[in-house]
Amino acid sequence: MKEEFAASAARATPVVGGNFWLWLSHHDINWWVAVATLAYIGASFVFAWRKDRRDRCAGKREHAHD
């Protein structure tokens, strides 16, 4: 089953990659700026969430040693 899926994915890769490249290359700069902005905002939220989680875990470890 896995081999069949891998073979099917390998056969479809050039077609999918070509279609994806055509889709990407037909957008103007405003679209790319919007995508980059959304990616930056999303990454900021992820980094803030991870930092908050790290700080909470560090706080729990400090209180465990009291």
Question: Which pLDDT score, from 0 to 100, does residue 66 have?
Answer: 55
Give the whole-angstrom CA distance, residue 61 versus residue 53: 12
Question: Which pLDDT score, from 0 to 100, does residue 48 have?
Answer: 95
Question: Which pLDDT score, from 0 to 100, does residue 27 have?
Answer: 78
The DSSP-derived string for 23-58 is: HHHT--HHHHHHHHHHHHHHHHHHHHHHHHHHHHHH
User: Which stretch of DSSP H or E encloses residue 61?
Assistant: helix 29-64
Domain ranges of the chain: 2-64
Question: Which pLDDT score, from 0 to 100, does residue 13 have?
Answer: 73
Question: Which pLDDT score, from 0 to 100, does residue 14 have?
Answer: 79
Question: Which pLDDT score, from 0 to 100, does residue 17 have?
Answer: 75
> Each residue of 7-47: pLDDT tens digit?
776 677 777 777 777 777 787 888 889 889 999 999 999 99
- What tokens appear for 8 in the block? 């099917």
